[in-house]
A and B are shown apart, each in its own frame.
Chain A
Amino acid sequence: MAKKTAAKTPYTQEAHVIGPRDVEFDWSDVPLHYIPGEPFATQFWNIMHLAIPLGEKMMAGCLAEALPYIEDPRLREEAVGFIGQESMHAASHESYHEHLAAEGIDIEPVVRNLETLLQVFLGDHQLKGRAKEVWLKERLAFFAAAEHFTAVVGQWMLEAEAWDEVGMHPMMKDLLRWHGAEEVEHRNVLFDVYQHVDGSYSRRVRMSVVASLGLFASWMITADYLMRQDPTSRWWKPWPVQMLNSVRKRLLPGPWFFVGELPSYLRPGFHPSQMGSLDAAIAYLATSPAARAAEQR
């Protein structure tokens, strides 16, 4: 897939080692509303538990499909580490499904619909030859954009002091921040793989628009579904109002960031490393109960 005319530039900065951590989470004493008194904020983060497992496994599968086209040994190492981190994210969020179902939320329809949407839209469709290669590039462009959003949310989570102030359950807080920190850690990988395999700017633009609108729409539709099942749900307390309140209390980022982040991602010359230091992520991982326990396994 490589063009012979590919521009070669030397690496100027060291590589950051990316590797999966052998984490485990115990949900037994986590209440339905793990952000106390905040049903909407809780359900908003529950969407991650539902959408992430399949989304990240698909991303890992897509990247594995791209491995034969990655000639750069450094990028290959990063891609291999990325695949494992995403698999651990998938497994960890999935481990919460049973608990959520036991709390009375019927997650099956959401999971089934998200699964259909993601797997049919972003599957490899058994294409052959050139169409197969082009479709791989399209999917890499989609996931590279999606990874920009997860890196932004990851950074946001590391700085979400409001979570500590309202007494969010520590196990869930650790899952989300561990995940967020690893998203920051590996933020450059899919972008660099996309640039390595294809790098077309027009494809990056259109797939990032697809990703941002698609993520925004699925997030809002799923939030609506979950809120209708929430035991605190009342017609005189519409969730969009609760959402604005939660955003104001800094318990979640304004979901419009899915669109608001596009201009910076689409700036020519953008690279994820410009998003700031990795230090907050690295420092968090050194205090995360789950990541620290993984070191002793």
Chain B
Amino acid sequence: MVSAGVVRGDTPLPDDRVAHPAVRAGLAVAEVYKRVVTGPLEPMLARSRPVRRTGFEREVVVAEITPVADDVVSLTLRCPGGGELTAWQPGSHLDVVLPSGRQRQYSLCGDPSDRRSYRIAVRRLADGGGGSREIHDDLEVGDVITIRGPRNAFRLAEASAYFFVAGGIGITPILPMVQAAEASGRPWTLVYTGRSRASMPFLDGLATLRGGALDVRPDDECGIPDLDEILADVPRGHAVYVCGPPAMLDTARTRLAAPDFEVHSERFSAPPVIGGEAFDVELRRSGVTIPVAADQSVLAAVRDQVPDLAYSCQQGFCGTCVVKVVDGDVEHRDRALLDSEREDSMLICVSRCSGPLVLDL
């Protein structure tokens, strides 16, 4: 039995002589089918009509830059020649590629029914990687930037009532959700925390909504929020949506346990490489050697060389990117392989090597 990973073309086939007669008969028919459809008659048996889609990656122009709170600006993005953008729903985000090449993800916080513009809001992070500073300091109205998306990892699903919790700039995906709940007439509660009212965007707009309960808790008025106390009030049957700092998410997930509570939070992609050292990887079958940087995974380093390389979670649990190791002292960081599999295989999305690595690729 094949355990981790995927079954590929070079996976050894089982011996069909030990199969049940019905299986052997089925396979004999399948063999005839395969010969006919891949044979000279193929063009008569199928006519390719590939369907290609466009618009996932596109250029947009920065139409407006508006301060919406202390250290927070909102950006309005439009198609350079006007025209409609891809539709989105609350919870959706964009990849934004800045002129410097920096790439960041921001939640859409505008009106989903406005098909001609997107709005994002960005807080200046003094200790971030420079993406928010570039937006605050360098980006100007009229600049053209590239976006990918919209892509939803935090979909607002139909529910009879909603309980929203937003911490700071975490209000951005929650705002359109609250507006959607208001528009659908479903009861909602929003607990919105932040340092001070001046630092919390969209308070004025939220205050005009009448269909739900708004609970604004700035630290300088209410003290540091006690999440345990806030979440103790969540009624059964309310769908909970949380966006904020990691500690807030942890508390919400622990406090509101499944399956009694429905708790939604945004799904994030792979975390960065921590505590890695640089090394070289030799791809034996391809005959090339590629350097792997200290903050780079083997997968990221070899992906371009091996276009049909299967991978997925990039966190070492799904087992898809398992590769046979020819030589090397592998430091296994996955949680998918058995010890017996680790003797000659590794998951190249997370595991590393002290010294040169040779892979059967």
Binding site for B on A (CB under 8 A): 1-3, 6-17, 19-20, 22, 53-54, 57-58, 60-61, 63-65, 67-68, 71-75, 77, 80-85, 87-88, 91, 94, 109, 111-113, 115-117, 119-121, 123-127, 130-131, 134-135, 137-138, 170, 174, 192, 195-203, 210, 214, 221, 277-280, 282-283, 286-289, 291-293, 295-297
Interface residues of B in 6-31 (CB under 8 A from A): 6-9, 11, 13-16, 18-20, 22-23, 26-27, 30
Interface of B is mostly: loop
By beta carbon, the residue of chain B nearest A72 is B53
Q: Give Cα A161–Cα B208 distance, bound, in whole angstroms.
A: 40
B309 touches A199 (CB 8 A): no
Among B6, B33, B239, the residue within 8 A (CB) of A57 is B6
At the interface, yes or no: B183 with Cβ under 8 Å from chain A? no
Q: Which residues of A contact B265 (CB under 8 A)?
A: 295
B317 touches A14 (CB 8 A): no
Q: Give Cα A68–Cα B33 distance, bound, in whole angstroms.
A: 26
Binding site for A on B (CB under 8 A): 1-9, 11, 13-16, 18-20, 22-23, 26-27, 30, 33-34, 37-39, 42, 45-57, 86-89, 92, 148-153, 155, 157-159, 239, 250, 253-254, 257-265, 267, 269, 307-313, 315, 317-320, 335-336
A-B contact pairs, 24 of them (CB 8 A): A1-B48, A7-B49, A12-B87, A14-B87, A14-B150, A20-B313, A22-B313, A53-B1, A61-B9, A61-B11, A72-B52, A87-B319, A88-B318, A109-B20, A117-B19, A117-B26, A117-B27, A119-B14, A130-B38, A131-B38, A196-B51, A199-B50, A282-B264, A287-B259
Q: Give Cα A116–Cα B30 distance, bound, in whole angstroms.
A: 12
Query: How far apart are A167's CB and chain B's nearest CB, in angstroms?
Result: 15
Known: A60-B310, A81-B312. A116 touches B318 (CB 8 A): no
A200 touches B310 (CB 8 A): no
Q: Which residues of B contact A289 (CB under 8 A)?
A: 258-259
Q: Give Cα A295–Cα B260 distance, bound, in whole angstroms.
A: 16
Among A83, A117, A131, the residue within 8 A (CB) of B6 is A83
